[in-house]
Chain A
Amino acid sequence: MKKSLTATCAAAVALAPLMALAPAATAGGKPAPEQHGKVALHATLDPFKVNKVDGHGSAEVRLQDRHVTVRVKAQGLLNAPHAQHFHIAAKGVCPPESAAQEHNGKLSLSTVDGQPFYGRIGASLTTKGDTSPKSALAVDRFPTGSQYHYKRSFTVSKETAKSLREGTAVVVVHGIDYNKNGKYDFNLGKSLLDPKLPLEATAPALCGTLKKTPTGGISGGLGGTQGDGFEAGPAGLAGAGLLAAGAGFYLRRRSIRSN
């Protein structure tokens, strides 16, 4: 009897939200902290194939107020210094390959080509000293090697913190070897950012948008297949008259529970 009763009254389900008595919340938890709370973000760094890059990497950022702890892991790069930055305040995406232009007659993507997508520099992920956009090309203060692990804590600008919270901050690791000769050279011409540097040294190699790491588990079930509650299947909803039964069943449960 219990089975058929609960089965028949599955329609109570339909009423539960109307009664504002939904037994299991779909979201749960506290309201999101806004401008100052802790936020964890991460990005998978994908290579720009158009720049002949095969490497990849990941980035993790913890933000509180304007203080960040940044971790970057990269591999498969040229064994050389790699400028790396948070780019901010644009579309918050990595440029598609179609954004590439001809540089010295070769189709490739320069840092400038990508700027409409990932935006201007918000912070320079240097190994020591200044981390502002002023250090964008401080080649002697960036990680060096074909693979590296970077970790540093520092304070970012208000705009950078905002972009991080909005999910529009992009990690870009620079420095490519387009002609695969094992060093930065001028085969793509001069850097548009600093004519003393080859374009290879400043062109983007890896890129990834920093997205918030979800907090906690999911609320992926409402109990419709659990014995005591509600019955499965379309038959459980047969007949509009069952709504009445459902309501009766629900109220009856409540009256018991309120004891």
Chain B
Amino acid sequence: MYGKPTLGPRGRRGVLTAATTACALLGTTLLTLDLTSSSEPPPVPKDAVRAPARPSNPSVGERPRGERGTLTQSPPTRVEIPAIGLGTDVKRVALNTAGAIAMPSDADHTGWYTGSPSPGSQGNSILVGHLDSRSGPAAFYGLGAVEEGDRITIDRADGRTATYVVDSMTIWPKDDFPSQRVYGPTPEPRLTLLTCADWDDGNETYRSNLIVNAHLKLVEGNAT
């Protein structure tokens, strides 16, 4: 993109290029010590549905997947998806001034929206995570590789662990985002994970969100 500029103050750019290249050479030397760092774009979910048709009555009238014991409220502390080697600590997040879910300050952590139920209890529990930071992969970098049937375990502050099983992966564009459908209450215990998708090179932003939905399989452990 910047390799073939056709207009502009070439003299100034030449100086900048020279300086940048000099620094880059130094950096390259340092980099030879660590060439393993990933430069691959994040995995794209191969089974994800893109902006599916909306049901006429979203998230209403779904039958619970059987009555099972659910837990009382206790905040989540850690999420793991063994199939894709994902494991991060979970912090509390609220809404930002725009009304969207705020992101955890450390991109290596995931965030539990405190306006949603604790994982392991009834309803739609919501976790968000960065796909990448400015410098590299973040908490939910690998989420695009998740597949239907993969297990997600969530440790809670009360010492219990809730295990969910992935049902679906969906990509929704941010400019036509079905908030009620994604965030609304559900009659069954459900886990909703969100991260970004669809890098827009021109605007240097992600255009979409990847949504992973999972249902509660079991709860284990004794409350501490």
Q: List residues of chain A with CB under 8 Å of any chain B CB.
A: 2-5, 7-10, 13, 16, 23-32, 40, 42-44, 46, 49, 56, 58-60, 73, 75, 167, 211-239, 241-242, 244-246, 248-249, 251-253, 255-256, 258-259
Contact = CB atoms under 8 A, between A and B. Distances in A.
B184 A218 contact: no
B195 interface: yes
A221 B138 contact: yes
Contact of A228 (B1, B101, B184, B186): B1
Nearest to B27: A8
A139 B59 CA distance: 30
Interface stretch (B48-56, B76-84, B127-135): B127-135
Given A3-B39, A216-B174, A236-B37, A223 B132 contact: yes
Contact of A235 (B37, B101, B140): B37
Chain B contact residues, majority secondary structure: loop
Contacts of B3: 2
Contact of A241 (B23, B97, B101): B23
Interface in B164-200: 172, 174, 177, 179-180, 183-187, 194-196, 199
Q: Report the contact-size class of chain B (Cβ under 8 Å from the partner).
A: 35 or more
Interface of B: 1-3, 5-9, 12-13, 16-17, 19-24, 26-28, 30-31, 33-42, 72-73, 95-103, 107, 113-117, 121-124, 126, 128-138, 140-141, 172, 174, 177, 179-180, 183-187, 194-196, 199, 201, 204-206, 208-209
A60 B181 CA distance: 12
B20 to A, nearest CB: 4
